Amino acid sequence: MKIWSREMREISEGEEPAVKVNGGAHPWQSAAEAGASSAGAGPGGREAGREPAGRGPAGGRVPKRGGAYEQRAGSGALRLRRRRRRRKMAATEAADPLLMLGVGLIGEEEGALPRRPAPSSDFAWARDCPCSRGPRHRPRDHLSTVEKDTNGEVLWVWCYPSTTATLRNLLLRKCCLTEENKLLHPFVFGQYRRTWFYITTVEVPDSSILKKVTHFSIVLTAKDFNPEKYAAFTRILCRMYLKHGSPVKMMESYIAVLTKGICQSEENGSFLSKDFDARKAYLAGSIKDIVSQFGMETVILHTALMLKKRIVVYHPKIEAVQEFTRTLPALVWHRQDWTILHSYVHLDADELEALQMCPGYVAGFVDSEVSNRSDLYDVFVNLADGEITIAPLAKEAMTMGKLHKEIGQLIVQSAEDPEKSDSQVIQDISLKTKEIFTNLAPFSEVSDDGEKRVLNYEALKQRRFPPATENFLYHLAAAEQMLKI
């Protein structure tokens, strides 16, 4: 399987690449401008047949026609010419959207090609999680297209505005077009260093204008978790690409959503970002389905999430993995933290490095080899076999007692009530969680610096809880950063 960029394909077919870097046009300069400038330029960079305006022998300014003055090249006149050239290039780009798209073509690390600066609000650093730290790991919005042609070759066709080679390689792993003899995954999503990715893949019908393409994927990255929102949006972009065979319409709609939160769909009216509330995305999974499969063992998952442990979920089908993993953070609704979710992870060194920098997570895998990687999990869920395993090193913190039995019974009774919805089950679990923190509050005190409350372990021991309950409350305080340092 070959993975090409569009420039490589054009060169291999004997065509001129869309963007020249060395010995050709500037990436923002049209071919006509490049030809005109190269034809008229002399060895010293001046236009042939013209003497540069400058200073006289005494260093004074040389008057020009009309009483105006022009300084020596490298001074005001040069700056004026540069400004005119930039305005001309900007006008050329505005008239030719495909030229602007060419700037977004990648295949190199960031910084290899000149790029337009993006709005700073869309590229803010995520500072509150260790997994987002490191060079070139900023959460950023971008849109890309990957094609598979009739020769079976996969091409990263274009990208707007830009991305890194590291993120591109990761997205190609997630994109099912690079896998031989594998099922088509219509929609997948996941997270990498605080950047969420959403990929919709479609098969190209014979009636489409894309005659040499069999499949393509629309790849979109964003800062927020909202699969339903981006699944709907990427489906609209797919229909545009099938109809027009060009990224121009897609890019217009993408920028409209980024800037205005709305775009027009040619078939189904308008797409509105505000119609997709984040809380609805949090509640999209089914807690009742999880309880129906694991029963009382669901309390193991609840305890692991309360203690911010590492949960790994395995199933050979990515759709099952994603549906299950996206629901688990709802068991600790009081945090409403879906940044712990990594719903589609490969056993790749870079991905695992990023994952292991997170203190606690829910990670989904489709590779059965993950069951042998005990260094990656405290709790392992074999979704295909319906089994939950606690790693040996986590058993002490995960010791179950009377309190856990009460929590488990409450979860099961609430989930089995046919009159209750999933959101009501989550509310019942959340109330029990609040009760646990209320019981922990009397054993906390204000820290010496007065900034937060910390656990008074001696007061907790004097209460003489059952050993399993005391152990759980201690590790819960540790997870909430309430231990004295």
Q: pLDDT for 173-210, tens place per residue?
A: 998 888 765 778 999 999 999 999 999 999 999 888 99
The one-letter amino acid code at 153 reads E
Lowest mean pLDDT of 228-237, 241-250, 335-344, 440-449, name the range: 440-449
- pLDDT band at 89, cuts 50/70/90? low
CA atoms within 13 A on the CB side of 247: 27
The percent of residues in the chain predicted with pLDDT above 90, rounded, is: 53
Strands (E), 325-422: 341-342, 361-365, 379-382, 387-390
Q: Retrieve residue 60's tokens.
A: 């004074």
SS3 388: strand
pLDDT of 181 reads 54
Instruction: Give the domain range for residue 159.
Output: 142-281
Q: Are residues 351 and 399 in the same domain?
A: yes
Q: Which amino acid, residue 197?
A: F
From 4-8, 105-109, 218-222, 278-282, the region with the lowest mean pLDDT? 105-109
Specify the DSSP element, H or E, that contains 127: none
As a whole number of angstroms, the distance between CA 88 and CA 93 comes to 9
113-133 average pLDDT score? 37
18 in any annotated domain: no
The residue among 77, 74, 75 whose CA lies nearest residue 64 is: 77
From 38-52, 209-223, 361-375, the region with the lowest mean pLDDT: 38-52
Same domain (yes/no): 409, 464 = yes
Single residue among 251, 281, 311 that ends a domain in this structure: 281
Residues 332 and 428 in one domain: yes
Query: Rounded CA gap, 377 and 344, in Å?
Result: 15
- Report the C-alpha gap between 320 and 281 in whole angstroms: 17
* pLDDT one-digit tens code per residue, 379-434: 999 999 999 999 999 999 999 999 999 999 999 999 999 999 999 999 999 999 99
The single residue listed with the structure tokens 């090249």 is 73
Could you give the 3-state DSSP secondary structure of residue 55?
Answer: strand
For residue 41, the one-letter residue type is A
- Would you say residue 73 lies in a domain? no
- Residue type at 395? K
Helix axes 422-440 and 287-294, enclosed angle (nearest 10): 80
Q: Which of 281, 301, 316 is the last residue of a domain?
A: 281
The answer on 433 and 397 residing in a single domain is yes
Closest listed residue to residue 198, CA positions, set 165, 233, 240: 233
Q: Name the domain count of the chain.
A: 2
CATH number where 150 lies: 3.30.450
Mean pLDDT of 433-440: 91
> Is residue 114 packed enough to be buried (19+ CB in 10 Å), middle (13-18) or exposed (0-12)?
exposed
pTM for the structure as a whole: 0.73
Q: How far apart are CA 137 and CA 341, in angstroms?
A: 17
201 and 314 together in one domain: no
Q: Look at residue 131 in the predicted model and tell me its pLDDT.
A: 55
Tracing tokens 């337009």 back to the chain, one arrives at 116
> Closest Cα partner for 298 from 318, 319, 327, 321?
327
Residue 112, domain member (yes or no): no
Q: Is the pLDDT of residue 127 over 70?
A: no
CATH number of the domain within which 389 lies: 3.40.50.11500
Which of 82-91, 248-257, 423-432, 445-454 is the least confident region? 82-91
Inter-axis angle of helices 298-306 and 467-479, to 10 degrees? 50
- On whether the CB atoms of residues 325 and 377 are closer than 8 A, the answer is no
Mean pLDDT, to the nearest integer, of 318-341?
A: 96
Are 157 and 4 contacting, i.e. CB atoms less than 8 angstroms apart? no
Same domain, 184 and 301: no
Highest mean pLDDT, choosing among 120-129, 206-215, 372-381, 441-450: 372-381
Helix axis angle for 298-306 and 422-440, nearest 10°, is 50
Tell me how far apart the alpha carbons of residues 175 and 186 are, in angstroms, rounded to a whole number.
Answer: 10
* pLDDT for 15 beyond 70: no
Residues 336 and 422 in one domain: yes
Q: Average pLDDT, whole number, for the chain?
A: 78
Average pLDDT of the segment spanning 26-47: 40
Amino acid at 70: E
Give the per-residue pLDDT at 93.
43
Assigned token pair, 444: 């906390």
* 305 in any annotated domain: yes
Last residue of some domain: 265, 281, 297? 281
Q: Which residue has the higher pLDDT, 95 or 216?
A: 216
